[in-house]
Amino acid sequence: MSQYSWPDPATRPLLGKNISRVDGPSKSSGRAKYTYDYNPQGLLAGKILRCPYAHAKIKSIDTSAAEKMPGVKAVDEGTAEDALRLIKVEYEVLPHFVSDAEPPKTVAADTGPISSDDFQDMEENQVPDEEVIAAIQKRGISFKPSDKDYESMKGMGVEPPVIEALRKAKFVAAEGKPKSPYKKTAVQTQGTPDKAIAAAAAVSEGVYGLPCIVHSCMETHGSASEWPGDKEVVIHISTQNVCGIAAQMAEPTGVPAGNINVLQQNVGGGFGSKFSVDRWDVNTAKLSQKAGGKPVKNMLDRKAEFEVAGMRPSAYARVKVAADKDGKITAWESHAWGTGGVGGGGTPPLPYIFEIPNQRKQNTAISTNQGSARAWRAPNHPQAAVITMCAIDDLAAKMKMDPLELVLRNLDIAGPRKDTYREEFAIADELMGWKKRWHPRGDKSPGNIKQGLGLSMHTWGGRGHASNCDFSIHPDGSVEIKLGTQDLGTGCLTIITIVAADTLGIPMEHVKVLYGNNRYPQSGGSGGSTTSGGVTSSTRRAAVDARDTLFEKVAPSLKAKPEELEAVGGKVQVKGDTSRSLSWKEACAKIGAVPLTVRGQNPDKNKPPDLTNSGVGGVQMADVSVDVETGIVRVHKMVAVQDCGLVADVKTAESQVYGALIMGISYALYEEKILDPVTGIVLNPNFEFYRLAGLSDIGELKVHMMTGKAYDERGVIGLAEPPVVSPGASISNAVANAIGVRVPFLPLTPDRVLAALEEAGGSHA
C-alpha cells in the first residue's frame, strides 16, 4: 500500500464514520453569510430591467428619466437603483414562439433536395433502399459526390442500386431557407432493429416525457461588485465555481483576471445553474465602476430567476422496446425530442444503462424562445431514466412479469456496474419488501385508493476534479488548509476536515479550512459530482506529506527514524512502542518558528495511487398510493441504495441521497415551468404556482450506502448527481403499477392521472 493510499478501515478514526457537518452550527444559528447577505457600509442597490417578452427586438432605450431620479448614482444600459419603471424601453415583439410539443413528422428539409448529411442519416438509419432511391429521384440531391466518394460509399456498404440512383440524380441547389427550430441529433442505428422487433416475443410501445423544470435555488443568482482601485475588482458572487469566475469577468470589465478577487462563503443552492458570470453580474460590476467604485449588489428577483437563470431541458420520446420469450431485451427504437431554450435541447443517453443489441434512435432538439437550459443535477440522466425505465416497466407489464425480474434478467447488458446493481437490488428488495408486496399492474383491492411499487436505476461518473490546496501545520498544533473551493451544502468542508484530521490523528477541531477565495490554490468548479473526489484526494496527499515532514522534525527527539513514527490519537509516537511519544502539540513545537506548509494536488501522477474513480451505480424503489377519484398521488416510501466508492462521511453522504429523493419527489409530482404557448411568457414564475415538495409530501425515506472493501478500493467518488436520476422513473412506474395504466408525462399531477385513467376507459377505478 502506498503511503498516500486511503487507510485501512481499522486505522480510520474519522473517515467513513457518521460525522456532523462542520459548518452546521453557523448555518443553523443564522450566522452563515451568503452573497445575498453582503451588506457593507454604503452599499448601493442594483436593479435590472429586463425585456418582458420572450422574443423581441429592443428598438431604443431611454434612461434619462431614471438618471434624474433622486438617489440614482449610476445607470448602465438601462440599469438603475429603485427606478425601473422610469426607464423607457420600446420593444418590437417578434412573431413566433415554438413550443416543445412533438415536432412535425416531416420537417421542411424533407421536401427540398437531399443533402449529404440527409443521405448519411438515411444510410445510418437503415432506411430501406427502395425508399432512399425514391427520395433521391423525387427530390434531387444538393451535393456532387466524386468517384472517390462513391468508392468510400461502397466501402461503407451502400448498395449498387443506391449509388446508381445518386449518379443519375438531378442536382438541385440547397434552398436558403431560414434555419428550422428543429434539429436532428444523435441519429444512430446499430444491429438490425427491424428484424429483432419482428422476431420478438413481446414489443411494448409508448410515449414518455418530462417538461422543463427550474433549478429554484433558494438564493437567487447575483453578485456584489466593488472597485477598490482603477483596474481592480472585488466580487462577491453566488457561484459553484469560485476559481472560474475571474477569467470570465476579465474581458467584459477590462480588468486583468489577476486583479479580480472572487469571494464567497456560502451559496444558497446551485444545482448546476451557477457556473458562469452572467450578464447581470457584468452590469453590476459596471454600475459599481460608474458609481465611483462603491459596492453595488444585485440579486435577481424570483421572477427573473425563473425566466433567465437556467432550467432543465424537457425530453419526450416515442419508444418501442422488445424482448424475447425469456425476457431478454433485444431491440430498442426511440424518437426523442425536447427543448433547452434558444440553444436547442439536451440529448438524453438512450437507451439508459442497457446496452441493447439492436437499436435505432434519433433525437430532435427544438429551439424555443425562452431562457437557456443550464446543467441541472446529472444533465440528461433523469430524462434518460424516465424514458428508458418507464418503457422497460411497460414491457414487463406487457409480458406479465415483475419488472424487478425483467431488469435482473438483463443485468448482463447493464454496463460496467452490473454487479453493483445486482447487489443493490437485493438490498432494495429487502428494504422495500418488493418481492412480498409487488402485485401485477392495477391494484385490484376495493376502494378508490390504489397502491403500487416502481423501480429505477442509474449511473454517473463523478471522478474527482483538478484541485489543489496549501496545507499548513502551525507550531502551536493548529492546522490550516487553503483552497479555492466552495461548499454547496454537500459537506465538502466536512470531508476535507475529516481527511486531514484522520491522516494526522488529531481532533477535527484542530483543522480550519479556508475556502471561497480565488486567491487560494485553484480548485475546480463544483459540478458533475467532481468535488468530493478532487478535494479529498488533494487533501490526503498534502496531509500525508505534511505528516511525514513533521515526522522528520520530530524523529530525533524520539530517538527513532521518521518512518518508524505514527500519528494517532493526538500523539506522535514510535510504532509498537507507545512509551516513546509526544503529544500532538509537543510534536508541532518542533516545527520551528514558521508553519510547515506543503502543496497538495489532484491529480498527481508522482504521488500514486489514484484516490478517486469514475462510475457509480444506484437503484431506487417507490411505494405510492393513487386516489383514482381525485388523481392525487402520495409517495409513501422511497428506498435508495447507492454506491459512491469510499464514503468519506456517512452522515452528509446520506443527506445528499435523502435530498435527491426529495428533489426527485418534487419533480415527479409537482414541478413544471409553464410557458404561454403564444407569447412564451413564463406563467408560473413563483413558488405559489411553481410547486415544490414540502415536508408533508415526502413519505418515509430509506437510504442505504454501499460500503465495504470492494467499494473502498475504488476511492472517493462524487454523489451529488446519481441519486437524483431515478425518482421520476421509479415514482411513475409505481403509479402505473397502482392504477394499471401509464401516465406518460411528469409531473404526475391529478389532471394527468385522471386523463390517463379516462383514456384507458375508466375501468380501473
Residues that bind other proteins (CB under 8 A): 20-21, 23-34, 36-37, 39, 52, 69-71, 82, 84-86, 216-219, 266-269, 271, 301-302, 488-490, 651-652, 654-656, 658-663, 666, 686-688, 692-696, 698, 700-701
Residue 217 phi, psi (nearest 5): -60, 140
Task: Write down the least CB distance from residue 310 to other proteins, Å.
Answer: 13
Q: Which is nearer to other proteins, 180 or 684 (by Cβ)?
A: 684
Q: Which is nearer to other proteins, 62 or 419 (by Cβ)?
A: 62
Grid cell locating 735: 403509479
Residue 599 phi, psi (nearest 5): -105, 130
Q: Where are the beta strands (DSSP E) in 594-651?
A: 596-602, 616-627, 633-642
Task: Write down the least CB distance from residue 37 to other proteins, Å.
Answer: 4
Quote the CA–CA distance of 125 and 362 in Å, as a whole number: 9
Task: Write down the least CB distance from residue 523 to other proteins, Å.
Answer: 18
Task: Write down the least CB distance from residue 451 to other proteins, Å.
Answer: 17
Q: Which is nearer to other proteins, 503 or 652 (by Cβ)?
A: 652
Quote the CA–CA distance of 228 and 42 in Å, as a whole number: 13
Task: Write down the least CB distance from residue 456 to other proteins, Å.
Answer: 17
Residue 642 phi, psi (nearest 5): -135, 140
Quote the CA–CA distance of 47 and 296 in Å, as a whole number: 10
CB atoms within 10 A of CB 321: 27
Quote the CA–CA distance of 528 and 53 in Å, as a whole number: 33
Q: Which is nearer to other proteins, 207 or 650 (by Cβ)?
A: 650
Task: Write down the least CB distance from residue 731 to other proteins, Å.
Answer: 15
DSSP letter at 641?
A: E
Which helix (H) or strand (E) is 251 found in, with range? Answer: helix 245-253
- Residue 555 DSSP SS3: helix
- Burial label, 576 (beta-carbon count in 10 A; 0-12, 13-18, 19+): exposed
- Burial label, 523 (beta-carbon count in 10 A; 0-12, 13-18, 19+): buried
Grid cell locating 584: 500532538
Task: Write down the least CB distance from residue 535 to other proteins, Å.
Answer: 17
Name residues whose C-beta falls within 8 Å of residue 272's C-beta, 6 or more positions apart in sequence: 215, 240, 310, 374, 375, 376, 377, 379, 527
Task: Write down the least CB distance from residue 241 to other proteins, Å.
Answer: 15
Task: Write down the least CB distance from residue 135 to other proteins, Å.
Answer: 50
Q: Which is nearer to other proteins, 86 or 589 (by Cβ)?
A: 86
Task: Write down the least CB distance from residue 69 to other proteins, Å.
Answer: 6
Q: What's the first-to-final CA gap in the chain, in angstroms?
A: 62
Strand partners, 641: 619, 704
DSSP letter at 675?
A: B
Task: Write down the least CB distance from residue 311 to other proteins, Å.
Answer: 14
Q: Which is nearer to other proteins, 151 or 700 (by Cβ)?
A: 700
Task: Write down the least CB distance from residue 486 to other proteins, Å.
Answer: 11
Contact at 8 Å (CB) between 6 and 715? yes
Q: At what angle do helices 160-168 and 147-155 cross, to 10 degrees?
A: 160
Contact at 8 Å (CB) between 252 and 222? no
Task: Write down the least CB distance from residue 416 to other proteins, Å.
Answer: 28
Return the amino acid letter for 623.
Answer: D
| Residue 541 half-sphere exposure toward CB, CA atoms < 13 A | 24
Q: Per-residue b/e over 323-332, b at no fewer than 16 CB within 10 Å?
A: beeebbbbbb
- Burial label, 192 (beta-carbon count in 10 A; 0-12, 13-18, 19+): middle
Quote the CA–CA distance of 750 and 44 in Å, as a whole number: 46
Task: Write down the least CB distance from residue 236 to other proteins, Å.
Answer: 13
- Residue 574 DSSP SS3: strand
661: nearest Cα among 564, 600, 731? 731
Q: Which is nearer to other proteins, 193 or 222 (by Cβ)?
A: 222
532: nearest Cα among 657, 713, 719, 376? 719
Residue 242 phi, psi (nearest 5): -55, -45
Task: Write down the least CB distance from residue 484 to other proteins, Å.
Answer: 19
Contact at 8 Å (CB) between 740 and 441? yes
**Residue 673 CA: distances (Å) to CA of 164, 199, 666, 670, 698:** 51, 42, 13, 10, 21
DSSP notation for 700-759: EEEEEE--SHHHHTT-B---SSGGGTSHHHHHHHHHHHHHSS---BSS--HHHHHHHHHH
Task: Write down the least CB distance from residue 553 to other proteins, Å.
Answer: 36
Contact at 8 Å (CB) between 365 and 341? no
Q: Which is nearer to other proteins, 447 or 694 (by Cβ)?
A: 694
